[in-house]
Chains A and B, each alone.
Chain A
Amino acid sequence: MYRILNKIVYVAFYYVYIFFEFLYDKSKSVKEHFSSLKRNITPLVTVEKNGFQNLTKRPNHITFIIDESPSYVDLANLVIWCMTARISFVSFYDHRGILKKHEEKLEQEVNKRKQTTDHIFWHNNRNSDFKNGFSGRKVHVKILTGEDGKKNVQSVCKQIISKNKPYSEITIDYVNEYLREQYEFPDPDVGIIFSKIFMLFNYPPWQIRLTEFHRLKSHYNISFNDFVDVLIKFSKCNQRIGT
C-alpha cells in the first residue's frame, strides 16, 4: 500500500519536474533570444568579410556529435559557417555510421554552397590530396564513426606490439603520436552534441580531455545564431589546465 502511494507521488513529482524544466528552458531561450537581438548579430555577409573579428578566441577544431539521421543541408551549412569563422578543422561524429556511408551527399551539398575560391579538404579514403598554397578560404572536413574511437586504441596497441617496443619505453606522448596519426585532426576544442540527451555516444575517448561540450536539441534547421552563440560561449571561457 505504502509502495503504491510512493509510486503515485513519484509520477506526480516527476511530471512537476518535467513541467518546471520545460518552463525553465523556455524562459532561457526567450532570454537568449532577446540578448542576441541586443547583440545585433551581424548578417552572414558582413561576418564573411571580417571573419568573426570580435571573437577573442576561436576554436581550431570543432566537432559535431549527431544522434539523429543526418540532414545534409544543415550539416553543409555548418561546414560553410565554420569556414567563414576561419575554423580550420571540422569533424562530424555519427555513432550509427550513416553519415559515413553517405558522405558524398554531404559533399554535394557543400559544393553547392561554396564559392569557387574555397577549398574543402575531405579526409577520407578516396582522395587525400592536400596541397598547400591555396589562396582562398579553406577547411578540413572529416567524418567519424563509432569505429574510430576505442577500436583505434586497440589497433594502436597492436601496432606498438608489432614494433617490438619494450613496454617500459611507452609513454603518454608516444601513444598520443600514434593515435593522432589515426585521428588526423588536432584534439577538438569545442564539441556540439545534437541530441535530447547529454551523452558522448562512444566518441573517441583519447581526444576529448579538454573539449568544451555544448548540447543543442537537434541540428535540423540550426540557425546561424545558434552556431554563433556556442562560439561566443567558447570565446568567453578561459582554460586552466590543472592549475
Chain B
Amino acid sequence: MSWITENSLDIFQRFVVNVLKCGPIPKHVGIIMDGNRRYAKKVNVEKYIGHSKGFDKLSEALVWCKELGIKEVTVYAFSIENFKRTPKEVDELMNLAIEKFEKLLEEEDKLMAEGICVRVIGNMKLLREDFQKLIAKAMLLTKDNTNSILNIAFAYTSREEITSAIKNIVKGVEEQHISLDDVTDALISQCLYTNSNPDLLLRTSGEVRISDFLLWQISHSVIYFTDVLWPEFSFWNFILCILKYQKCYYQIGDIRKNENSTFHYRGNNERIENFLSILKQNELATLQSFCQ
C-alpha cells in the first residue's frame, strides 16, 4: 500500500467530515500506534504482518487527517527501547521501514504535488546506514514543503530528545554562541527535535501510558486513550476521537486563557537566533553527509 492514497472515503463519510469541520479541528495530532503485535496474535498471523497492517492503517489515517484539515501528524513508529526486542523482530521492522521509505521516494511527484513535508525525529545515528541515507534523502527532498507535515518518530524517546537539546545548549555555551543567561525553558523547547505541540494525543490498544513520547510537547494536549488495537482502528473510531477533542476544546477555553496570562514568551535576542540557525545548519549538514 502506498503512502499517499487517493480519497477513499464514501459519500456518507465525506458528509460527516464536512459536518465535523464546522467545529474546532486539531492542528497537530500525535499518535502512538500501539497494538500491532496483539493484533497479529489475535488473528493468528506472524508479527510482521501485524506491523505491515499497522502501516496500512497509518496511510489510511493520513487520508482522514487530510480530509479533516489536520495539518501536522506525529507518529511513534519505533522507540529506542524497541531495540531491546528480539533481533529477528527488530530486523523485520527495519526492513519494513526501509521498504516503505523506498516507496515514499518513488512517490516523489505526489509528495511534492501535495506539498507534504516528511521529517524523521529521533537519534538517527542508531539506525543502519542504508536507512539513514533513505531518510536523509526524503527529508532533504521535502524540507521546504509546507502544506502538511508528517513527523515520524524513529529511534526516538523523549528523554533522549531532551538530553540532546541540553547537549546542544551546553555545546553552544562552550563555543560561546550563547551565554548562561540565554538558557531558558523556551530555548530548550526550540532545541528539541520538534518544537510543535500536538493539540491531541491518541493512543490505541488500551495502554494508559505516554511511553516516552513527546513528553515535553504534550503538556497541554488533550489525551485520548482507546482500547481498539491500531490495525483495527476505524474511521468511526477516529471521528469519535475528534468529537471528544471538540468537547474538551469547548471546556478548555478558560485554561488556555490562564496559560497565556502566566506564560510570558520572551522574544529571542539576536544571539539566540544566530545559535538556532547554526543548529539548523548543522542538522542539514548531517543529513547531507548521510546522503553521500
Contacts and interface: CB of A to CB of B under 8 A. Distances in A.
B116 interface: no
Contact of B85 (A168, A205, A213, A243): A243
A239 B223 CA distance: 20
A14 B243 contact: yes
Interface in A185-234: 196-203, 205-206, 208-214
Given A162-B180, A171-B163, A209 B215 contact: yes
B264 to A, nearest CB: 13
Contact of B215 (A176, A199, A205): A205
A158 interface: yes
A158 B162 CA distance: 14
A67 B255 CA distance: 9
B292 interface: no
A41 interface: no
Contacts of A10: 19-20, 22-23
Interface string B25-52: 0000000000000000000000000000
Interface string A147-168: 0011101101110111001111
Contact of A208 (B81, B83, B215, B258): B215
Contact of A166 (B19, B21, B80, B174): B174
A96 B261 CA distance: 12
A21 interface: yes
B211 A210 contact: yes
A239 B211 CA distance: 10
Contacts of B188: 150, 153-154, 157
Interface stretch (B91-99, B100-108, B138-146, B244-252): B244-252
Nearest to A209: B212
Contact of B211 (A7, A157, A206, A209): A209
B158 A205 contact: yes
Secondary structure call for the B interface: helix
A157 B223 contact: no
Contacts of B220: 199-202
Q: How large is the interface on B (under 10, 10 to 19, 20 to 34, 35 or more residues)?
A: 35 or more
B35 to A, nearest CB: 12
A200 B219 contact: yes
A153 B162 contact: yes
Interface string B234-278: 000000100110111001100100100010000000000000000
Contacts, number: 155
B225 to A, nearest CB: 8
A206 B157 CA distance: 11
Contacts of A211: 209-210
Interface stretch (B56-64, B127-135, B164-172): B164-172
Contacts of B160: 172
B184 interface: yes
B208 A150 contact: no
A153 B185 contact: yes
Contact of B180 (A13, A21, A158, A172): A158
A149 B208 CA distance: 21
Nearest to A190: B208
Contacts of B88: none
Contact of B158 (A149, A197, A209, A241): A209
Given A200-B218, A200-B219, A243-B85, A214 B174 contact: no
Contacts of B151: none
A175 interface: yes
Contacts of A200: 218-221, 223
A6 interface: yes
Contacts of B222: 197-199
Contacts of B83: 242
A17 interface: yes
Contacts of A167: 167-168, 170-171, 174
A17 B19 contact: no
Interface string B203-230: 0000011111001101111111100000
A9 interface: yes
Contacts of A237: 208
A237 B211 CA distance: 14
Nearest to B179: A161
Given A9-B19, A165-B170, A197-B252, A14 B163 contact: no
A7 B23 CA distance: 8
Nearest to A17: B243
B183 interface: yes
Contacts of B184: 154
Interface of B: 16, 18-23, 79-85, 157-160, 162-163, 166-171, 173-174, 180, 183-185, 188-189, 208-212, 215-216, 218-225, 240, 243-244, 246-248, 251-252, 255, 258, 262
5 contacts: A150-B188, A162-B180, A197-B248, A205-B158, A242-B79
Closest 4 CB pairs of A and B: A242-B81, A10-B22, A205-B215, A150-B185
